[in-house]
Amino acid sequence: MSVVGTVRQILQVCCCPTGTKHFLLMCNVKAEDAGEIRFVARDVESTAYLEVEELPLSIVKPLRDRTALEKHRVILECTVSTPRSSATWYKGKEELVPSDRLEILADGCSHKLVIQQVAMEDEGTYSIEVGEHTSKAKLMVESQALVMVKELEDEEVTEPEAASFQCEVSVDINKPPLWTLNGETLQTGPSVRLENHGTVHKLTLKNTSMDMSGVVKFTMGKAKSSATLTVKEK
């Protein structure tokens, strides 16, 4: 007996007013539900065979273009018609495999690609292949707004004491900042020390002299901060 036949029989039984008929209702049947159905009532017995035809493999819900904020998590998701299907993910022509930042998940008919701590280099076209079917989508990554979290503070020292300046930005970016003193760019050397600890940046000026008094500026993209250095005579 096919599923269609079973459904028709159930409809007829539900409409029967005598109450002498029995029916078995199976919702959301799956391929593994196929088999012999047996009914027993005292000395009465009846059997039938349930056949379940799987839906042809297709992509029910394709991938969609996504825009993600840098350092956040993004999920690309696709739904197929049958849970008995394997999928292969690609970025461009490169096949993707799970890693510390990349998860490939399959739950029934749902297939997901999860990217943790998304970076600018993750931008591109992603695709999923299921059988003979392919779905593609573009991932765009927006950089986080870089702002000052902690500004520089004025410093006053007596020559030749060292002067230190420290500030903090909102995002850890793999790009060195620009430090200047009275408009002149500062580079690491015997009398200048530049440090970077994630989002915290530090400048140390050694062997100060009175002629070094002036304005210290920190610049990283649109994040800027300045402070005044005052060096007193010994």
Question: How confident is the model at residue 48, as a pLDDT?
Answer: 84
pTM over 0.75: no
User: Is the domain of 125 the same as that of 200?
Assistant: no
Separation between Cα atoms, residue 218 and residue 198, nearest integer Å = 15
Position 108 pLDDT exceeds 70: yes
Final residue of a structural domain among 110, 142, 174? 142
Same domain for 63 and 122, yes or no, is: yes
Partners of 219 in the beta sheet?
178, 224
Total domains in the fold of the chain? 3
Give how far Cα 98 sits from Cα of 45, 111, 116, Å: 53, 14, 11
Residues 23 and 79 occupy one common structural domain? no
β-bridge pairing 94-95 and 87-91: antiparallel
Average pLDDT value for the chain: 86
Structure letter (DSSP) for residue 42: T
Residue 117 shares a structural domain with residue 175: no
pLDDT of residue 126: 98
Confidence of residue 34 (pLDDT cuts 50, 70, 90): confident
Q: Does 74 lie in the same domain as 138?
A: yes
- pLDDT tops 70 at residue 147: yes
Quote the percentage of the chain above a pLDDT of 70: 88
Q: Which of 26-30, 86-90, 169-173, 192-196 has the lowest mean pLDDT?
A: 26-30
Q: Among 142, 168, 190, which residue terminates a domain?
A: 142
| Number of residues that make up the chain | 234
Do 127 and 86 lie in a common domain?
yes
| Structural contact between residues 194 and 143, judged by C-beta atoms closer than 8 angstroms | no
The CATH number of whichever domain residue 69 belongs to comes to 2.60.40.10
Residue 153 sits in the same domain as residue 121: no
Same domain flag for 68 and 135: yes
**Are 163 and 227 a contacting pair, CB within 8 Å?**
no
Instruction: Return the higher-pLDDT residue of 62 and 1.
Output: 62
State which residues form the domain around 178: 148-232
Higher pLDDT, 175 or 76: 76
Q: What is the pLDDT at residue 83?
A: 83
Per DSSP bridges, beta strands 87-91 and 66-69 are unpaired
Among residues 142, 172, 207, which one ends one of the domains? 142
Q: Do 115 and 162 reside in the same domain of the chain?
A: no
pLDDT of residue 218: 97
pLDDT of the residue at 56? 77
45 phi/psi in degrees, rounded to 5: -145, 140
Residue 212: closest CA among 190, 197, 192, 196: 192
